[in-house]
Structure formats: structure tokens, C-alpha cells
Structure 1
Amino acid sequence: MDRAGRQSRVAKLPPRERILDAAEELFSREGIRAVGVQAIADRAETTKMALYRHFATKDALVEEWLRIVAADYTAAFDRLAQAHPDDPRAQILGLARFIADGLPGISHRGCPFINSVAELPDRTHPARRLIEAHKVRQLRRLTDLCVRAGLPDPQDTAAELTFLLEGAQVSVQNGSVERAGERLMRIVEAVLDRHPAAGPTG
């Protein structure tokens, strides 16, 4: 979207959403630590006072931004569960496709979770705790899909798939692997085909 188009869209948003939109853009592009509250307020075309009415601290804004990012991944799991309720293998492949399709978008800015963890070394930080809890839930759902697909050693298989999905995001960010999305899909399929499923267990 060009600058004029973005300004037109953002101008129609309520103040809180304008602030979150500005934070998403600036945090993704420049990093959490490099972006100040004033820069976010300016980008959202509001004031610091107005920003603090919606978010008590910058940390609270960071946490809410990452909560929205996490919700996108949760929604992907939910959409796949609805589209393929009796086919866990299709859900796993669909998740891999979701990650593969998103790789071009993070090739320059990187994964928000990976970048944020690097900038938030304090594991007691609310946003850091949010990321870790999200990753635990995601691995749990992936493990459940492996169980339902009848794959042997579902915990190990889910861990292997997680390494692949997250490794692809890192690799596309640092530019070390070409055609990362295509290769990711091929490797995930190979992992699933290596252990033919016993059949959906519902």
C-alpha cells in the first residue's frame, strides 16, 4: 500500500487502533528499543498524552501488539481446523503453507517474535512471557495434530516440525536459503511421508 493509501486507511481508524497500527509498522521496521513513544504518537497522528490514555506504558503497547500477532497464528490454526476437521495431516500441511506464504513478508523485517525475544532478554517482561506462552500453546496444538494423524513419536515429530517452521523464518530473514517457502513445504511433506499415518483418530 502506498503512503497516500495508508494515510487514508489509518485516518478512518479509532485512536487506539491508529496507535497499534503505527506501533506495528515502527516496531517491525525499526525494532522495539529504537522506537520511542513520541515517534509512535506522531505516526498515529495523535499525542503522547492520548497514547498513554490507551496504553499506560510502552511495555503495555508492545505486549498488546504481540498479542495481536499471536492471535493471527491462532486464527490460522482455527481456520485449518474448520476447513479440515477430520484431516490432521492436511491441517499440518496447511500450517506449513501459512508459514511459507508469509516468508516474503518477513524477509526484510524478520519475524516479530524472533526479533522481540532478542530485544527482551528479561524473561519476566510481560511481552516476553506472552511470546513464550504463545509458543507453548502452538507446540501443544501441533503435537495434538501429530497424535491425531497417527504419527509415531508425536512429541518428537512436533518438535521437528517446529524447528523447520521457525528455522525457515530465520533463514529467509538472513537470506541464507533460496526458495525457502518451496523447500519448507517439500521437507515438511517428507517428514510426514517418512512415517505414514495410521489414519485419523478424530
Structure 2
Amino acid sequence: MDDEEARTRLLDAAEELFYRHGIQAVGMDRIRAASGVPLKRLYRLYPAKESLVTAYLERRDRRWTAGLRASVATSAQPPVLAVFDWLAQWFSEPDFRGCAFLNAYGELGAAAPEVVRVHKAELHALLAELVPAGAPPALADQLLVLVEGATTVAALSPGPEPARRAREVAKLLLSK
């Protein structure tokens, strides 16, 4: 196994375990066991748990954002509403456990990796790109609150309904 394969295996294991059980509840030995990567190589690639957490969140950010962008780009719905349609699908996935970035912040607080803040800033920027021309500047802020609120509600009660309800509010905001 080369370093690239080892990284992939480690990140796959970290993503599954951190997202399902929480960052603090999962030790490096558990990730090593789940990935099949020797402990010496794990620590050579990720010298501290914090570096593995950051790499996991950075990869998740790229995948999550790319998935959202692709869905919006191919949707027949207005772009802002397509965001909530995508969220409804995500919230319905069997392994949905809420927002990995908010979960990380909830566990680690101010010690959470910077990628948590970067992810939220990127989400805000994406929403700002999608609002119709001439919309009030605050609309992207309001949409971010809807997205985050729906995600939090769905973490407690998985399924598409929180996204559907947030979509209805977004429709009202767009009609103003």
C-alpha cells in the first residue's frame, strides 16, 4: 500500500467513525484498526489527531460543496429552491447525522479547525451567488439561517421535512 492509498483508507475510516460517533469518542487506534493502516504510517501521514480531523473535514467540505453545486446546476428548479431540494435528499440518507462542521464545532468549540469557519463562509458565498439579481443583500444571510436551522432540526429528526419547510420560507423570502 502506498501513501495515497493509506491516506484514502485513513480518511474513509475517519469520516465514517468521526461522523457516526464524534471526534472525541474515536481514538487513533480505532481509526488504525478500521483502516488497516499500520500505526507508524498513520502517524507519519497525520502526526496528530488534529491533522487527521482537519484533513477529514477538508475532504468532506470539498465533497459536500461539489455535490450541492452539481445538484443546483442540474436542477430545473430556481437555484435557491434547488438547495433545499438537495438538502431534503441529504437529510433522508440513512447515515445522516447532521452537519459534520457544526458537530465538530459543538465538540471542540474554539479549538475546532479553521475549515469549520471556512466551510460556513463558503456556504454563505454560494447562497449569495444563487440569489436573484436585485435581491436584498440580507437574503443570503437569511437563507444561511434557513439552511443551518433545517440541518439542525433534521439532525434531531432525520428526514426531508425540515428542508421542505425551510424551502417554503425561502419561497416567501424570494417573492418579496
Query: Are 2:22 and 1:34 equivalent residues in the alignment?
Result: no
Query: Are 2:153 and 1:165 equivalent residues in the alignment?
Result: no
Query: Are 2:100 and 1:112 equivalent residues in the alignment?
Result: yes
Q: Secondary structure at the match of 2:109?
A: coil
Equivalences for residues 95-174 of structure 1 within 5 A? 95-105=83-93, 109-123=97-111, 125=112, 127=113, 129-146=114-131, 149-154=132-137, 156-174=138-156
Letter in 2 for 1:170: T
Letter in 1 for 2:44: R
Letter in 2 for 1:166: E
5+ residue gaps, structure 2, are none
Give the TM-score taking structure 2 as reference length.
0.84
**Does the CA-based 8 Å contact 2:88-2:159 persist in structure 1?**
no
Taking a change above 3 Å as real, the CA distance of residues 80 and 44 of structure 1, as seen in their structure-2 partners, is closer
Shift of 1:137: 2.1
Taking a change above 3 Å as real, the CA distance of residues 91 and 114 of structure 1, as seen in their structure-2 partners, is same
5+ residue gaps, structure 1, are 1-12, 196-202
Partner of 1:198: none
Identity of aligned residues (%): 28
Q: Secondary structure at the match of 1:120?
A: helix
Letter in 2 for 1:26: L
Q: Max radius of gyration: which structure?
A: 1
Partner of 1:186: 168
Query: Are 2:82 and 1:94 equivalent residues in the alignment?
Result: yes
Partner of 2:61: 70
Taking a change above 3 Å as real, the CA distance of residues 163 and 107 of structure 1, as seen in their structure-2 partners, is farther
Taking a change above 3 Å as real, the CA distance of residues 82 and 108 of structure 1, as seen in their structure-2 partners, is closer
Taking a change above 3 Å as real, the CA distance of residues 157 and 17 of structure 1, as seen in their structure-2 partners, is same
Partner of 1:51: 42
Letter in 1 for 2:145: F
Letter in 1 for 2:124: L
Q: Secondary structure at the match of 2:64?
A: helix
Give the TM-score taking structure 1 as reference length.
0.75
Shift of 1:153: 1.4
Shift of 1:138: 1.9
Which whole-Å CA distance do the structure 2 matches of 1:72 and 1:178 have between them?
20
User: Among residues 14, 29, 32, which one is paired with 1:23 in the alignment?
Assistant: 14
Shift of 1:99: 1.5
